[in-house]
Amino acid sequence: LSPLNGAIDLPTVQSLQWEGNSLYTGYDLELATDMAFNDIVQTVSLLGTSFQPANLENQTTYYWRVKPKNICGEGTYGLPFSFTTVQFNCLDKAATGLPLAISATGTPTIISKIAFFEDLRLADINVALDLDHTYLADLVITLTSPSGTVATLISSSCGDLRNINAIFDDEGSNFVCVGDPAIKGTIKPLGPLSVFNGESIKGEWILQVNDNAASDGGSLNLFSLEVCVEGAFSSDEDGDGVFDQDDICPGTPPNTEVDASGCAVYKFASSNFEISAQSESCRPNNDGIIGISAILPLNYGVSITGNGTVVSDNFTDTYSLSNLGAGIYTVCVDAIEGLITYEEACFDVVISEPDPLNVTSKISLDGRQLTLTLEGSDFYVIEFNGQTIQTNEGQLTLDLQKGGNSLKVMTGLSCQGIFEDRFLGPESLLLLPNPAEDFVAIYGSESGIIYLEVYGMDGRRIFAESRTMEGSQTVLEVSGWASGIYFVKVRSASQTRTFKLIKR
């Protein structure tokens, strides 16, 4: 059965449905406005088990009953069912913030908004406009519902005539452009307003005026909507957008921001707080600091959370929290002053830490230059072959000298570490360590085959072989040699060097 017996607040478009029986071939249905069925508004004969009555009135109780039929005859009407249709109410609401100027310079667009807070289904809507403009053909005026549906009121209408003072109503007459104002009275819009019917009125309705040509201007003086809905409008005596039954703070002054309970929302001025962050001096130190300075002295409450920190405290004008590690912290501040409770303001604060020193090096193809890429600081101290260089640059190129080149890189913070390395210059051979006990490495700036010869103090050759340099070095085991002094002769494709090696 639909609708349920005794249902209330139903829309005027309603389908009556009942359970059928295979013994019946048809039904008679009566619809009345009284239980005795003295005031019958519709009587129909049907083959099916549903019927949609026409022209139901709002806020009316209807009674309906069904009588079955078949080829053998008719039955009797069953017990009546009832339903009550919803109220039908209309409300006028005007936009605020008018008049709005329509500039004669360029092609401006202006908008005006009217907001409704009730979630009610629209049955009818009319638009009232009072608009001055010196050339109406320049204008396109539209109304957009909260659901995004658009209806065009006028579009490039009335040529060089001026001004509008009219109510746009689907039941109005076709407008005729004549006189001043050129559009007046109760008239039909170019696009039907019925496109909005059935939508919820809740949200912002937007009137948009597009002036598509320069030189002529004017102003929007009045914009109002008459909306008719199925249902009852809720009362909002102070106009704060919170209905009276939910408003625990009645009498709110106009244009005051309120919360869901209708009470004024007090917000801190955007410039009231200065939030400072001092980062860690070094990575393990946990000596970061968050500072708060307030212009307006109040009884503030503050909470700071993040990176394992949970702190709640109070202050009047300044506050600081120290011993913080690197991370992201959320700082929230509220205040209560007498009867005024300020809305909480929250900020994200980042405590950083110095990056570790990172040095990457690259030797040029000809082996004559060393390019350093420096990361982790904005100031570097470089010691290269005994020379000290200070730089703010992230990349630096140094000239390599023949033989070994020593490099040491530091920053202004010792905790960032020190980078040290050695590099061979062009056409260089190097033997390390010296003195040696078990192994000695021969380094070269060029790859390929090298030839090794080892001589004792008496000039006798005790070792000779050829080797391929792997990774610009080769390792010679000397653990079996007797302690003493040896001469190691190294010959590559481009050079020959003899090293004096001390074996311990």
Please report, for the domain that includes residue 448, its CATH number. 2.60.40.2550
- Of the residues 351, 386, 406, the one at which a domain ends: 351
Domain enclosing residue 400, as ranges: 358-425
Confidence label for 471 from pLDDT (cuts 50, 70 and 90): low
Q: What is the pLDDT of residue 497?
A: 83
Residues ≥6 apart with Cβ < 8 Å to 53: 14, 16, 31, 41, 42, 62
pLDDT (0 to 100) of residue 365: 66
Same domain, 147 and 94: yes
CA separation for the pair 400, 419 (Å, rounded)? 18
User: What's the mean pLDDT in 471-484?
Assistant: 86
> pLDDT at position 232, please?
77
Over the chain, what is the mean pLDDT? 91
Task: Look at residue 430 in the predicted model and tell me its pLDDT.
Answer: 78
Residue 398 covered by a domain? yes
Q: Confidence class of residue 78 from pLDDT cuts 50, 70 and 90?
A: very high
**192 and 120 both lie in a single domain:** yes
- Domain match, 186 and 314 both: no
Question: Among residues 425, 450, 473, which one ends one of the domains?
Answer: 425
pLDDT at 244: 79
For 408-433, write each residue's pLDDT tens digit. 999 988 888 899 998 877 766 778 88
Give the residues across from 327 on adjacent strands: 351
- Judged against a pLDDT cut of 90, whether residue 263 lies above it is answered with no
pTM above 0.85, yes or no: no
Residue 247 lies in a domain: no
Which of 27-31, 88-92, 166-170 shows the lowest mean pLDDT across its residues? Answer: 88-92
* 256 falls within a domain: no
Query: Which pLDDT band holds residue 368 (cuts at 50, 70, 90)?
Result: confident
d(CA 173, CA 500): 116
- Terminus-to-terminus CA distance in the chain, angstroms? 109
pLDDT tens sequence across 313-328: 999 999 999 999 999 9
Work out how many domains the chain is built from and give that number: 5
Are residues 98 and 187 both part of a single domain? yes
In this structure, the answer to whether residues 132 and 224 fall within a common structural domain is yes
Whether 135 and 220 map to the same domain: the answer is yes
Is 300 in contact with 335 (CB distance < 8 Å)?
yes
Is the separation of the CB atoms in 283 and 273 below 8 Å? no
Domain-ending residue, one of 37, 53, 86? 86
